[in-house]
Amino acid sequence: MKYVLAVFVGAWVLVTSAQAAGYRVETVASGLEHPWSLAFLPGGRMLVTERPGRLRVIEPGPDGRPQLHPEPVAHVPAVLARGQAGLFDVVVDPGFAVNGRVLLSFAHGQPEANHLRVVRARFDGRQLLDVQPIFTSQPAKTETQHFGGRMAWLADGSLLFGMGDGNLERTDAQRLHTHLGKLLRIQPDGSVPADNPFRQRTDARPEIYSIGHRNPQGMVVVDGVPYAHEHGARGGDELNRIETGANYGWPVTTGGIDYTYARITPYRSLPGIQTALVEWTPSIAPAGLAWYDGALFPAWRGSFLVAALKERSVRRVPLAGGVPGTQEVLFQELGERIRDVRAGPDGAIYLLTDSANGRVLRVVPATP
Protein backbone atom coordinates (compact mmCIF):
# COMPACT_ATOMS: atom_id res chain seq x y z
CA MET A 1 0.00 0.00 0.00
CA LYS A 2 1.41 3.39 -1.04
CA TYR A 3 0.66 6.71 0.61
CA VAL A 4 0.40 10.21 -0.84
CA LEU A 5 -0.66 13.57 0.57
CA ALA A 6 -3.64 15.73 -0.32
CA VAL A 7 -5.19 18.94 0.94
CA PHE A 8 -8.34 18.55 3.04
CA VAL A 9 -9.95 21.85 4.01
CA GLY A 10 -6.61 23.56 4.35
CA ALA A 11 -4.69 20.73 6.03
CA TRP A 12 -2.54 17.86 4.85
CA VAL A 13 -4.19 14.45 5.14
CA LEU A 14 -3.13 10.92 4.35
CA VAL A 15 -4.41 9.26 1.20
CA THR A 16 -3.97 5.56 0.52
CA SER A 17 -3.17 4.27 -2.96
CA ALA A 18 -4.91 1.00 -3.75
CA GLN A 19 -3.51 -1.95 -5.66
CA ALA A 20 -5.44 -3.89 -8.30
CA ALA A 21 -6.08 -6.88 -6.00
CA GLY A 22 -9.70 -7.16 -4.98
CA TYR A 23 -11.28 -6.14 -8.27
CA ARG A 24 -11.02 -6.78 -11.96
CA VAL A 25 -11.70 -4.40 -14.82
CA GLU A 26 -13.68 -5.48 -17.87
CA THR A 27 -14.03 -3.58 -21.17
CA VAL A 28 -17.69 -3.05 -22.01
CA ALA A 29 -17.17 -0.92 -25.15
CA SER A 30 -14.22 0.62 -26.98
CA GLY A 31 -13.58 2.85 -29.98
CA LEU A 32 -15.42 5.84 -28.50
CA GLU A 33 -14.14 9.34 -29.27
CA HIS A 34 -13.67 11.19 -25.98
CA PRO A 35 -16.68 9.72 -24.17
CA TRP A 36 -18.02 12.19 -21.62
CA SER A 37 -21.04 10.77 -19.79
CA LEU A 38 -22.84 7.50 -19.11
CA ALA A 39 -26.48 6.86 -18.18
CA PHE A 40 -28.38 3.65 -17.47
CA LEU A 41 -31.67 2.66 -19.13
CA PRO A 42 -34.06 -0.17 -18.33
CA GLY A 43 -33.26 -3.61 -19.71
CA GLY A 44 -29.50 -3.41 -19.30
CA ARG A 45 -29.05 -0.63 -21.88
CA MET A 46 -26.72 2.35 -21.49
CA LEU A 47 -26.34 5.70 -23.21
CA VAL A 48 -22.88 7.22 -23.78
CA THR A 49 -22.09 10.69 -25.07
CA GLU A 50 -19.06 11.36 -27.26
CA ARG A 51 -17.74 14.90 -27.08
CA PRO A 52 -17.75 15.49 -30.89
CA GLY A 53 -21.55 15.21 -30.78
CA ARG A 54 -22.60 11.58 -30.91
CA LEU A 55 -24.93 9.70 -28.57
CA ARG A 56 -24.31 5.95 -28.51
CA VAL A 57 -26.26 2.96 -27.23
CA ILE A 58 -24.76 -0.03 -25.41
CA GLU A 59 -27.22 -2.92 -25.24
CA PRO A 60 -27.24 -6.65 -24.54
CA GLY A 61 -26.12 -8.67 -27.55
CA PRO A 62 -27.38 -12.10 -28.66
CA ASP A 63 -25.22 -13.73 -25.99
CA GLY A 64 -26.47 -11.34 -23.30
CA ARG A 65 -23.16 -9.49 -23.07
CA PRO A 66 -23.25 -5.71 -23.60
CA GLN A 67 -22.21 -4.44 -27.01
CA LEU A 68 -21.96 -1.03 -28.66
CA HIS A 69 -24.61 -0.46 -31.33
CA PRO A 70 -22.74 0.45 -34.54
CA GLU A 71 -24.89 3.47 -35.44
CA PRO A 72 -25.14 6.61 -33.31
CA VAL A 73 -28.55 7.75 -32.09
CA ALA A 74 -30.24 9.81 -34.80
CA HIS A 75 -31.41 13.43 -34.50
CA VAL A 76 -28.99 14.58 -31.82
CA PRO A 77 -28.89 18.41 -32.08
CA ALA A 78 -25.93 20.11 -33.75
CA VAL A 79 -23.10 20.58 -31.27
CA LEU A 80 -20.23 23.07 -31.21
CA ALA A 81 -17.22 20.76 -30.90
CA ARG A 82 -13.99 22.69 -30.49
CA GLY A 83 -11.50 22.90 -27.62
CA GLN A 84 -13.40 21.85 -24.49
CA ALA A 85 -16.75 22.37 -26.23
CA GLY A 86 -18.91 19.47 -27.35
CA LEU A 87 -21.65 17.10 -26.23
CA PHE A 88 -21.52 16.73 -22.46
CA ASP A 89 -23.98 15.05 -20.12
CA VAL A 90 -26.91 12.72 -20.63
CA VAL A 91 -29.45 12.06 -17.88
CA VAL A 92 -32.57 9.92 -17.89
CA ASP A 93 -35.87 11.48 -16.85
CA PRO A 94 -37.15 9.96 -13.55
CA GLY A 95 -40.38 9.21 -15.42
CA PHE A 96 -38.63 7.53 -18.35
CA ALA A 97 -40.73 4.36 -18.08
CA VAL A 98 -43.78 6.48 -18.97
CA ASN A 99 -42.46 9.42 -21.01
CA GLY A 100 -39.27 7.96 -22.56
CA ARG A 101 -37.41 11.24 -22.05
CA VAL A 102 -33.70 11.92 -21.81
CA LEU A 103 -31.87 15.23 -21.38
CA LEU A 104 -28.63 16.34 -23.03
CA SER A 105 -26.29 19.24 -22.28
CA PHE A 106 -23.89 20.57 -24.91
CA ALA A 107 -22.03 23.58 -26.33
CA HIS A 108 -24.24 25.49 -28.75
CA GLY A 109 -23.58 28.30 -31.21
CA GLN A 110 -20.38 29.60 -32.80
CA PRO A 111 -16.87 29.80 -31.31
CA GLU A 112 -17.13 33.58 -31.02
CA ALA A 113 -20.66 33.48 -29.52
CA ASN A 114 -21.51 30.25 -27.71
CA HIS A 115 -23.74 28.96 -24.94
CA LEU A 116 -24.41 25.95 -22.76
CA ARG A 117 -27.69 24.44 -23.92
CA VAL A 118 -29.91 21.77 -22.34
CA VAL A 119 -32.53 19.91 -24.40
CA ARG A 120 -35.05 17.23 -23.60
CA ALA A 121 -36.28 14.62 -26.07
CA ARG A 122 -38.04 11.28 -26.33
CA PHE A 123 -35.76 8.31 -27.03
CA ASP A 124 -37.28 5.37 -28.89
CA GLY A 125 -34.20 3.17 -28.79
CA ARG A 126 -32.59 4.43 -32.01
CA GLN A 127 -33.46 8.12 -32.38
CA LEU A 128 -34.43 11.26 -30.51
CA LEU A 129 -37.92 12.63 -31.12
CA ASP A 130 -39.52 15.96 -30.18
CA VAL A 131 -36.19 17.58 -29.31
CA GLN A 132 -36.92 20.72 -27.28
CA PRO A 133 -34.41 23.26 -25.87
CA ILE A 134 -35.25 24.00 -22.25
CA PHE A 135 -32.24 26.17 -21.31
CA THR A 136 -29.66 28.29 -23.15
CA SER A 137 -27.10 30.16 -21.07
CA GLN A 138 -26.92 33.94 -21.28
CA PRO A 139 -25.20 36.03 -22.35
CA ALA A 140 -23.28 34.44 -25.22
CA LYS A 141 -19.59 33.99 -24.44
CA THR A 142 -16.47 33.84 -26.56
CA GLU A 143 -13.86 31.05 -26.50
CA THR A 144 -14.57 27.37 -25.92
CA GLN A 145 -13.53 26.67 -22.35
CA HIS A 146 -15.18 26.01 -18.98
CA PHE A 147 -18.71 24.97 -19.89
CA GLY A 148 -19.50 22.84 -16.85
CA GLY A 149 -22.40 20.80 -18.24
CA ARG A 150 -22.97 18.15 -15.58
CA MET A 151 -26.62 17.58 -14.53
CA ALA A 152 -28.45 15.87 -11.66
CA TRP A 153 -32.06 15.47 -10.54
CA LEU A 154 -33.00 16.93 -7.17
CA ALA A 155 -35.43 15.16 -4.86
CA ASP A 156 -38.31 17.46 -5.84
CA GLY A 157 -37.95 16.59 -9.53
CA SER A 158 -36.17 19.79 -10.56
CA LEU A 159 -32.90 19.73 -12.52
CA LEU A 160 -29.61 21.07 -11.13
CA PHE A 161 -26.69 21.65 -13.49
CA GLY A 162 -23.38 23.47 -13.63
CA MET A 163 -22.13 26.30 -15.84
CA GLY A 164 -18.42 27.13 -15.91
CA ASP A 165 -16.98 30.64 -15.74
CA GLY A 166 -15.89 30.64 -19.40
CA ASN A 167 -12.26 31.26 -18.34
CA LEU A 168 -12.34 34.88 -19.49
CA GLU A 169 -13.61 37.32 -16.84
CA ARG A 170 -13.34 35.17 -13.73
CA THR A 171 -15.26 37.57 -11.53
CA ASP A 172 -18.39 36.86 -13.60
CA ALA A 173 -18.76 33.88 -11.25
CA GLN A 174 -19.70 36.44 -8.56
CA ARG A 175 -22.06 38.49 -10.76
CA LEU A 176 -25.77 37.72 -10.90
CA HIS A 177 -26.50 39.13 -14.39
CA THR A 178 -24.80 36.15 -16.04
CA HIS A 179 -25.11 32.37 -15.84
CA LEU A 180 -21.31 32.01 -15.93
CA GLY A 181 -19.73 30.35 -12.88
CA LYS A 182 -23.01 29.17 -11.36
CA LEU A 183 -25.07 26.14 -10.47
CA LEU A 184 -28.49 26.50 -12.08
CA ARG A 185 -31.89 24.96 -11.35
CA ILE A 186 -34.90 24.58 -13.63
CA GLN A 187 -38.00 22.44 -13.93
CA PRO A 188 -38.01 19.62 -16.52
CA ASP A 189 -39.90 21.86 -18.95
CA GLY A 190 -37.39 24.70 -18.56
CA SER A 191 -39.48 26.89 -16.28
CA VAL A 192 -37.93 28.44 -13.18
CA PRO A 193 -38.84 27.00 -9.76
CA ALA A 194 -40.74 29.46 -7.59
CA ASP A 195 -38.27 29.04 -4.69
CA ASN A 196 -35.03 29.67 -6.59
CA PRO A 197 -33.03 32.02 -4.36
CA PHE A 198 -32.60 34.95 -6.80
CA ARG A 199 -35.83 34.66 -8.76
CA GLN A 200 -37.39 37.81 -7.30
CA ARG A 201 -34.35 40.02 -8.05
CA THR A 202 -34.50 42.12 -11.20
CA ASP A 203 -30.69 42.21 -11.46
CA ALA A 204 -30.24 38.41 -11.40
CA ARG A 205 -30.75 35.46 -13.72
CA PRO A 206 -33.66 33.57 -12.14
CA GLU A 207 -32.19 30.11 -12.80
CA ILE A 208 -29.22 30.73 -10.45
CA TYR A 209 -29.05 28.32 -7.50
CA SER A 210 -25.52 29.04 -6.19
CA ILE A 211 -22.61 31.23 -7.24
CA GLY A 212 -18.81 31.33 -7.19
CA HIS A 213 -17.97 28.21 -9.21
CA ARG A 214 -15.04 27.83 -11.62
CA ASN A 215 -15.83 24.79 -13.80
CA PRO A 216 -18.17 22.28 -12.13
CA GLN A 217 -18.05 18.88 -13.86
CA GLY A 218 -19.25 16.47 -11.19
CA MET A 219 -22.62 16.36 -9.46
CA VAL A 220 -24.55 13.83 -7.39
CA VAL A 221 -27.46 13.91 -4.93
CA VAL A 222 -27.05 11.91 -1.72
CA ASP A 223 -30.06 11.49 0.61
CA GLY A 224 -31.60 14.57 -0.99
CA VAL A 225 -28.47 16.72 -0.59
CA PRO A 226 -26.61 17.86 -3.75
CA TYR A 227 -22.83 17.73 -3.92
CA ALA A 228 -20.67 19.07 -6.74
CA HIS A 229 -16.99 19.30 -7.53
CA GLU A 230 -15.14 21.72 -9.77
CA HIS A 231 -11.78 22.18 -11.43
CA GLY A 232 -9.23 24.54 -9.98
CA ALA A 233 -6.18 25.74 -11.94
CA ARG A 234 -2.89 24.12 -10.85
CA GLY A 235 -4.63 23.59 -7.55
CA GLY A 236 -7.81 24.42 -5.73
CA ASP A 237 -10.06 21.64 -7.05
CA GLU A 238 -13.06 21.47 -4.72
CA LEU A 239 -15.80 19.12 -3.58
CA ASN A 240 -18.70 21.07 -2.07
CA ARG A 241 -21.95 20.39 -0.27
CA ILE A 242 -24.39 22.61 -2.17
CA GLU A 243 -26.81 24.94 -0.40
CA THR A 244 -29.35 27.15 -2.10
CA GLY A 245 -28.18 30.72 -2.59
CA ALA A 246 -24.68 30.02 -1.24
CA ASN A 247 -21.42 31.53 -2.50
CA TYR A 248 -18.55 29.07 -3.10
CA GLY A 249 -15.90 31.70 -3.50
CA TRP A 250 -14.37 31.60 -6.99
CA PRO A 251 -12.27 33.63 -7.66
CA VAL A 252 -12.39 35.59 -4.39
CA THR A 253 -11.32 32.67 -2.19
CA THR A 254 -9.33 29.58 -3.17
CA GLY A 255 -6.32 27.65 -1.95
CA GLY A 256 -5.21 27.04 -5.52
CA ILE A 257 -2.49 28.57 -7.62
CA ASP A 258 -2.75 29.81 -11.19
CA TYR A 259 -1.08 28.33 -14.27
CA THR A 260 1.61 31.02 -13.83
CA TYR A 261 2.30 29.53 -10.34
CA ALA A 262 1.05 32.75 -8.72
CA ARG A 263 -1.60 32.72 -6.00
CA ILE A 264 -4.99 33.54 -7.51
CA THR A 265 -6.09 35.40 -4.38
CA PRO A 266 -4.58 35.96 -0.93
CA TYR A 267 -7.79 34.68 0.69
CA ARG A 268 -8.48 31.05 1.45
CA SER A 269 -11.68 31.96 3.26
CA LEU A 270 -13.86 34.98 3.93
CA PRO A 271 -17.07 35.57 5.88
CA GLY A 272 -20.17 34.59 3.93
CA ILE A 273 -18.33 32.19 1.61
CA GLN A 274 -18.71 28.44 1.93
CA THR A 275 -15.63 26.39 2.80
CA ALA A 276 -14.92 23.42 0.55
CA LEU A 277 -15.69 19.97 1.93
CA VAL A 278 -12.51 18.70 0.23
CA GLU A 279 -9.81 20.61 -1.67
CA TRP A 280 -7.11 19.11 -3.89
CA THR A 281 -3.85 20.98 -4.36
CA PRO A 282 -2.02 20.09 -6.59
CA SER A 283 -4.93 19.58 -8.96
CA ILE A 284 -6.23 16.10 -9.72
CA ALA A 285 -8.62 17.56 -12.39
CA PRO A 286 -11.91 16.10 -11.10
CA ALA A 287 -14.41 15.14 -13.82
CA GLY A 288 -17.36 12.82 -13.03
CA LEU A 289 -18.75 12.19 -9.56
CA ALA A 290 -20.72 9.24 -8.19
CA TRP A 291 -21.99 8.02 -4.83
CA TYR A 292 -21.35 4.35 -4.13
CA ASP A 293 -23.72 2.40 -1.90
CA GLY A 294 -23.79 -0.89 -3.81
CA ALA A 295 -23.46 -4.47 -2.64
CA LEU A 296 -20.47 -5.65 -4.71
CA PHE A 297 -17.89 -3.61 -2.78
CA PRO A 298 -19.08 -3.42 0.86
CA ALA A 299 -15.92 -1.68 2.03
CA TRP A 300 -16.57 1.19 -0.38
CA ARG A 301 -20.18 1.84 0.59
CA GLY A 302 -20.93 5.37 1.73
CA SER A 303 -18.24 6.91 -0.47
CA PHE A 304 -17.94 9.49 -3.20
CA LEU A 305 -16.12 8.31 -6.30
CA VAL A 306 -14.30 11.15 -8.06
CA ALA A 307 -13.07 10.64 -11.62
CA ALA A 308 -9.70 12.37 -12.06
CA LEU A 309 -8.26 13.33 -15.45
CA LYS A 310 -4.81 14.60 -14.45
CA GLU A 311 -4.21 12.05 -11.71
CA ARG A 312 -5.51 9.26 -14.02
CA SER A 313 -7.44 7.71 -11.18
CA VAL A 314 -10.65 7.59 -9.21
CA ARG A 315 -10.52 9.10 -5.75
CA ARG A 316 -12.68 7.32 -3.18
CA VAL A 317 -13.78 9.78 -0.49
CA PRO A 318 -15.74 8.13 2.35
CA LEU A 319 -18.30 10.32 4.09
CA ALA A 320 -19.53 9.64 7.64
CA GLY A 321 -21.66 12.10 9.56
CA GLY A 322 -21.01 14.70 6.87
CA VAL A 323 -17.23 14.48 7.41
CA PRO A 324 -14.86 13.16 4.68
CA GLY A 325 -12.51 10.37 5.72
CA THR A 326 -9.21 9.03 4.43
CA GLN A 327 -9.14 9.09 0.64
CA GLU A 328 -8.11 6.14 -1.50
CA VAL A 329 -6.61 6.32 -5.00
CA LEU A 330 -8.16 3.67 -7.24
CA PHE A 331 -7.56 2.33 -10.76
CA GLN A 332 -4.35 4.29 -11.32
CA GLU A 333 -2.78 1.14 -12.76
CA LEU A 334 -4.97 1.65 -15.86
CA GLY A 335 -2.90 4.70 -16.82
CA GLU A 336 -6.04 6.36 -18.24
CA ARG A 337 -7.59 9.79 -17.90
CA ILE A 338 -10.95 9.03 -16.27
CA ARG A 339 -13.72 11.33 -17.51
CA ASP A 340 -16.74 9.83 -15.77
CA VAL A 341 -17.52 7.34 -13.02
CA ARG A 342 -20.92 5.80 -12.31
CA ALA A 343 -22.35 3.35 -9.81
CA GLY A 344 -24.34 0.89 -11.91
CA PRO A 345 -27.70 -0.63 -10.98
CA ASP A 346 -25.87 -3.98 -10.81
CA GLY A 347 -23.57 -2.71 -8.04
CA ALA A 348 -20.57 -2.52 -10.40
CA ILE A 349 -18.55 0.64 -10.99
CA TYR A 350 -18.40 2.01 -14.53
CA LEU A 351 -15.62 4.22 -15.89
CA LEU A 352 -15.21 6.28 -19.07
CA THR A 353 -11.67 6.82 -20.34
CA ASP A 354 -10.96 10.17 -21.99
CA SER A 355 -9.12 9.59 -25.25
CA ALA A 356 -9.65 9.44 -29.02
CA ASN A 357 -10.08 5.67 -28.52
CA GLY A 358 -12.03 5.83 -25.28
CA ARG A 359 -13.60 2.92 -23.46
CA VAL A 360 -16.43 2.08 -21.12
CA LEU A 361 -15.04 -0.10 -18.32
CA ARG A 362 -16.86 -2.15 -15.69
CA VAL A 363 -15.24 -2.83 -12.32
CA VAL A 364 -16.37 -5.92 -10.42
CA PRO A 365 -14.89 -7.96 -7.56
CA ALA A 366 -12.00 -10.20 -8.49
CA THR A 367 -12.87 -13.86 -8.94
CA PRO A 368 -12.07 -15.70 -5.69
**Catalytic annotation, pick one of 108, 146, 179, 229:** 146
CA 74, CA 84: separation in Å to the nearest integer?
Answer: 23
CA 360, CA 27: separation in Å to the nearest integer?
Answer: 6
Amino acid 297 reads F
- DSSP for 192-218 reads PPTT-TTTT-TTS-TTEEEE--S-EEE
Q: Dihedral angle at the C-alpha atoms of 65, 71, 72, 75, nearest 10 degrees?
A: -130
Q: How close are the terminal C-alpha atoms of the chain, in Å?
A: 21
Q: Which residues of 335-360 are buried (b: 16+ CB within 10 A; e: fewer)?
A: ebbbbbbbbbeeebbbbbbbeeebbb
249: phi then psi, degrees, rounded to nearest 5: 100, -30
Taking phi over 0 as left and psi of -120 to 50 as alpha, with beta for the rest, 331 belongs to left
Cα distances (Å, whole numbers) of residue 96 to 42, 57, 82, 126, 368 = 9, 16, 31, 15, 37
Q: How many other C-beta atoms can be found within 10 angstroms of the C-beta atom of residue 365?
A: 13
CA 235, CA 232: separation in Å to the nearest integer?
Answer: 5
Catalytic residue flag (residue 179): no
- Paired residues of 37 in beta bridges: 49
Question: Do the beta carbons of residue 336 and residue 35 sit within 8 Å?
Answer: no
Active-site annotation, residues = 146
